Amino acid sequence: MIRPATPTDVPMIARLIRELAEYEKLAHACVMKESDLHNHLFGATKYAEVLIAEDAGAVVGFALFFHNYSTFRAKPGIYLEDLFVMPEYRGRGHGKALLVALAKLAVERDCSRVEWSVLNWNTPSIDFYKALGAKPMDEWSVFRLTDDALKKLASS
C-alpha cells in the first residue's frame, strides 16, 4: 500500500534516510535532523512531500519528492530526491508502486515529467528504472554548490 506521509511518520522516514545513506556509502554525509525534516515536510512552508510504502502495516520504503519547473515546456515537474525500499522487502513491487503513485500524482498535477538522479555504480536501480521506461540523461552533468562554496558565492 502507498500513502502520503503524516507527521507521525517522521522518525521512520529519518530512519529510512539513514539506511539509504548507508546503502549509498554516504552515511558520513547524512547530517539530517528530524526536527528539520519535520519542519520542511509539515511546517508552514512545505519544501517536499513523502509517499510511504507499507507491507502488512509496516513501513518498508519511501519516496521523497518536490516540484521543479520546465521552462521549455512551461509546466511543473516532479523531482524524486530519494526512493528507498528496505533490502528485505525489495523485489515485492514496493519500488514500482511508489513510482506508479508518483507518476499518478504528476499526471493529476499536470506535470510534464518526473526525474531523478542515480549513482553510476547502482546498476540494480539503473536496470529497474530502465525497465520502467525511464531514459538516462547522459548528456547532462549535475552541478552542486554546498557549504563554503555556497556561502562564498552568496557573499560575493
Per-residue pLDDT of the chain (156 residues; tens, 9 = 90+): 999 999 999 999 999 999 999 999 999 999 999 999 999 999 999 999 999 999 999 999 999 999 999 999 999 999 999 999 999 999 999 999 999 999 999 999 999 999 999 999 999 999 999 999 999 999 998 999 999 999 999 999
Residue with cell 536501480: 125
Question: How far is Cα 83 from Cα 18, in angstroms, rounded to an integer?
Answer: 12
Which residues does the annotation mark as catalytic?
Answer: 129
Q: What are phi and psi of 69, to 5 degrees?
A: -145, 135
Domain containing residue 140: CATH number: 3.40.630.30
Instruction: Please give the model's pTM, rounded to 2 decimal places.
Output: 0.93
User: 65 with 102: CB under 8 angstroms?
Assistant: yes
User: 128 with 83: CB under 8 angstroms?
Assistant: no
- CA torsion, points 17, 116, 121, 97, in degrees to nearest 10? 70
Question: How far is Cα 10 from Cα 7, in angstroms, rounded to an integer?
Answer: 6
Q: What are phi and psi of 13, to 5 degrees?
A: -60, -45
Domain count, the chain: 1
Q: Note down the domain range covering 135.
A: 2-154
Please name the residues in contact with 59: beta carbons below 8 A apart, sequence gap of 6 or more. Answer: 9, 12, 16, 52, 53
